[in-house]
Amino acid sequence: MAKEGITARGKDYSQWYLDIVDKADMAENSGVRGCMVIKPHGYAIWEAIRDAMDERIKATGHVNAYFPLLIPKSFLMKEAEHVEGFAPEVAEVTRAGGEDLTETYVIRPTSETIIGSTYAKWIRSWRDLPVLINQWANVMRWELRTRPFLRTAEFLWQEGHTAHATEEEAERETLMVLHDIYADVVENVMAVPVLRGLKTDREKFAGALRTYAIEAMMQDGKALQAGTSHNLGQNFARSFDIKYTTADNREEYCWTTSWGTSTRLVGALIMAHSDDDGLVLPPKVAPTQVVVVPIFKNDAERSAVMEAVDRITADWKGRFRFKIDDRDNLSPGFKFNEWEVKGVPVRIEVGPKDVQKGTVAISRRDRPGREGKAFVEQAGLTEHVAQLLDEIQTALFERALTFQREHTFEVSSYDEFKTQIEQGFVRAYFDGDGNDEDRIKAETKATVRVIPFDQPEAEGTCFYTGRKTKQQAIFARSY
Amino acid sequence: MAKEGITARGKDYSQWYLDIVDKADMAENSGVRGCMVIKPHGYAIWEAIRDAMDERIKATGHVNAYFPLLIPKSFLMKEAEHVEGFAPEVAEVTRAGGEDLTETYVIRPTSETIIGSTYAKWIRSWRDLPVLINQWANVMRWELRTRPFLRTAEFLWQEGHTAHATEEEAERETLMVLHDIYADVVENVMAVPVLRGLKTDREKFAGALRTYAIEAMMQDGKALQAGTSHNLGQNFARSFDIKYTTADNREEYCWTTSWGTSTRLVGALIMAHSDDDGLVLPPKVAPTQVVVVPIFKNDAERSAVMEAVDRITADWKGRFRFKIDDRDNLSPGFKFNEWEVKGVPVRIEVGPKDVQKGTVAISRRDRPGREGKAFVEQAGLTEHVAQLLDEIQTALFERALTFQREHTFEVSSYDEFKTQIEQGFVRAYFDGDGNDEDRIKAETKATVRVIPFDQPEAEGTCFYTGRKTKQQAIFARSY
């Protein structure tokens, strides 16, 4: 039974998503076309993801910096594929300080060009390499159809931009970011399992040599690209003249990379875990991990219950992110509902009977109803809660992984492909080219999400071309 | 003796500042008019300030959120004083997605208008109040004359926006932010003493009822406004229709506040502490607090020295932010210079003789040369360093406070005023109006920085009007 105001997933998944964003108080449309307001609850979740990402970005040797929001339009034009990819969707600043500008600026849709032009000034010799820099910023892409978190005109992200002496180093960086930063955060913090691999030329970043991605499965079987890492080769180095002098005094172009993750991840989080009752949050990203609801009818009960609540939570500070919901104008039922919709992983109720018995009632958000409710001793509760939070984190990941596996299908013919793609991901031998991908997309709305890293040893038959090949691809419809 | 490439403060303070920003690798001009690139070292200092600020913002009950970068130009026009203050310096987006827009957007110069229009939707009843929200964001003001950190077209900042039921509550919030967040961070983290008080009507924020500020003295005796907190009264509430229903069912306008600090603070930090040798950083904001430079001439020495260095620093992780500078292509002298210019508070040298004697040489950045150098035992070094960092933090604050006091002059006549304002701040009885302030500014370049909270009990004579008054003001030239 779905909560009031939340459409059931089975009825209309797309509306369900919008309802969750709304009812869990995460974001709302603004008066600005395609731009959302990220509300405090949504922003706190983004902060948790961002902090986990930032920690890993720094631990792997990168430093943060900040480059201008505005980019001279002429910069965008310098890399041929890049301009083709981004020029149609930029917002342009043509007036400032009350005057028409002689040079038009665009609001950054991504910063390869402005950062590339800066690196060209910074890098002189092999001793200056590698340059390992990340930026946290807002970017803007004038999208026609927007959905909160998933696709908005303005979004928040991090973009890493590195420069290296050799192709091997750039490639190692590109893959390290994908595995050790992106997949690690998405799987081990957000509890969302991902598939990792290479994008086809059709799907790669505008201007990249190779794009790697992590792809997550949403509960409707569609894919969400959760992070991309690009080996840019020497393309941007040539366009922006990023050169270095080698140890033996030759001049070479640098090899550069770029990689990004964004507030889209909040959308991925919602769609991977939540249910018809509202948001479901993994403890590691939950702004509130535990809510304690004291239950009482009169002042005498109140004082006994609150005394127990204070005792129980005395050693929680710095250990859990918790709230004691002692608002006196709201019923327990109203509070339960509110915290459920907002996705708080653990709810603890303490009433007069619990005080007498030395117990509390403890409920898991990931298992709604009786199944997830238990009565436990107040003594040792802190340890119990710590363990429960770990369990929930693991259970959410396992549940999502099982779902992903059960909705990934191997097919050997295009007919089978067309049937199975309705249900989830399809993994199949595929050696088609970009034109084949276009036709498959036109006919089924599915695209190659990745050429996964784990490939079979044995040869097979391409489901589309009928040719023998050793390459498998993962297809899905996507957000 | 100044370092190579750094102009002496005494010779040209303004050029000295630019040299420090450049040589300490903090920021540089970009290809975009008036916008800087914040380089990793500058950004890491900003991160330290930002984190200290964010911690206090949250500890005082605020939550973060995010509002759109673009603001419909029509929003900006709604509050009469506000539009007058900001309209001349906005950047305008007139095209997007390849088409001319029917509505022009401006890049936020500040977000009262877009946030006010959102609060009007969020707030219904007294139970929704107070709303206590902060945003970390970039903003843009098309300034003609820019200087890195101090005045740039784009800058990074936090802007708090709160709504309250009563004027008293709004006033309490405005002052709490000034004292418990802003002054606390600037004095106790950045080690920069501030003067606190009210802005005159001439100097207040465009659209505010009252503006409070903290003002810091730079080493040239000029003032830098380090943070402002505005009681907006019901001005924005009326313009944006932010109303609530009281407990007894009346409809009232909210009382709102806004308050901000920005990357200017990095400029304040530089100008308060640094010297002719480069940047001087208080330990609490130093990205690297301690640098250890091993000194050796051959492999045998290297191995003995590095063994000692590893032993000394074994328990430093998580305790200090430190670097071991074992780059083998650079001389110790080159390294000393680099870390001095970059402002690292403590430098430790370990050479073969130190290994024999069980000592290290330890130097304080805040006391260059022999005065700040000592030889201390390796045993107990961790405690010694911890204590030294505390000492340096305190010493920098005390030094700046002494400087501020020695350069603040009480005057009783306009003639005296004109002489003393060349040397620093002037504190004087003043009851002039805005026109008087304008004339004083035209003649001396000085403005009222604040009407300080600490006012005398006794009446005195206004240095300008000659009238009796109980009010003193602090004047200075300012950044």
Q: What is the DSSP string of B142-200?
A: --SS-BTTTB-SEEEEEEEEEEESSHHHHHHHHHHIIIIIIIHHHHHTS---EEEEEPP
Cβ-count burial B192-223 (b if 16+ within 10 Å, e if not): bbbbbbbbbeebbbbbbbbbbbbbbbbbbbbb
**Measured on CA atoms in the order A8, A9, A15, A20, is the torsion positive or negative?**
positive
Instruction: Report domain B13-273's class.
Output: alpha beta
Tokens at residue A2, please? 């779905």
What's the whole-number mean pLDDT along residues A296-305? 95
The DSSP output letter for B268 is H
For tokens 């009238």, name the residue: B467
Q: Domain A288-388 maps to which CATH number in 3.40.50.800, 3.40.1190.20, 3.30.750.200, 3.10.20.90?
A: 3.40.50.800
What's the whole-number mean pLDDT along residues B66-71? 98
Number of residues assigned to chain B: 479
User: Out of A30, A68, A144, whose CB is closest to B37?
Assistant: A68
- Please say whether the beta carbons of B323 and B390 come within 8 A: no
pLDDT > 70 fraction of chain A, expressed in percent and rounded: 100
- Please say whether the beta carbons of B13 and B267 come within 8 A: no
Per the CATH hierarchy, to which homologous superfamily does domain A408-476 belong?
A: C-terminal domain of ProRS (3.30.110.30)
Chain B interface test: which of A93, A101, A107 (most B C-beta within 10 Å): A93
The whole-angstrom distance between B140's CA and the closest CA on chain A is 9
CA Rg value for chain A: 25
The DSSP output letter for B12 is -
Least Cα distance to A465 among A443, A433, A442 occurs for A433
* Res. A2 pLDDT band, cuts 50 70 90: low
User: Out of A63, A68, A94, whose CB is closest to B92?
Assistant: A94
Q: What digits encode the pLDDT tens for the residues A201-260?
A: 999 998 899 999 999 999 999 999 999 999 999 999 999 999 999 999 999 999 999 999
pLDDT score for A83: 83
- Please say whether the beta carbons of A110 and A75 come within 8 A: no
Q: Is the pLDDT of residue A31 over 90?
A: no
Three-state SS for A322-389 is EEECCCCCCCHHHHHHHHHHCCCCEEEEECHHHHHHCEEEEEECCCCCHHHEEEEECCCHHHHHHHHH
Q: What digits encode the pLDDT tens for the residues B357-410?
A: 999 999 999 998 888 899 999 999 999 999 999 999 999 999 999 999 999 999
What's the whole-number mean pLDDT along residues A360-370? 94
**Pairwise CB contact (< 8 Å): A140 & B40:** no
Report yes or no: B47 at the A interface, CB cutoff 8 Å. yes
Q: Is the pLDDT of residue A371 over 90?
A: no
User: Out of B31, B70, B87, whose CB is closest to A72?
Assistant: B31
**Within this chain, domains B288-388 and B408-476 share the same CATH topology:** no
Distance CA B68, CA B350 (A): 52
Which ipTM value was assigned to this complex? 0.96
Q: What digits encode the pLDDT tens for the residues A42-100?
A: 999 999 999 999 999 999 999 999 999 999 999 988 888 888 888 889 999 999 999 99
A78 three-class SS: coil
Q: Is the pLDDT of residue A392 over 60?
A: yes
Report yes or no: B32 at the A interface, CB cutoff 8 Å. yes
Tell me the domain boundaries of chain A. Answer: 13-273, 288-388, 408-476
B164 vs A87, more confident: B164
The whole-angstrom distance between B174's CA and the closest CA on chain A is 21
Distance CA A289, CA A346 (A): 6
The whole-angstrom distance between A26's CA and the closest CA on chain B is 10
* Res. B2 pLDDT band, cuts 50 70 90: low
Least Cα distance to A229 among A211, A207, A202 occurs for A211
Report yes or no: B140 at the A interface, CB cutoff 8 Å. yes
pLDDT score for A461: 97
Q: Is the pLDDT of residue B82 over 90?
A: no
What's the whole-number mean pLDDT along residues A262-271? 98
Q: Is the pLDDT of residue A1 over 60?
A: no
pLDDT score for A391: 98
pTM of the model: 0.96
Q: Is the pLDDT of residue B1 over 70?
A: no
What's the whole-number mean pLDDT along residues B335-348? 97
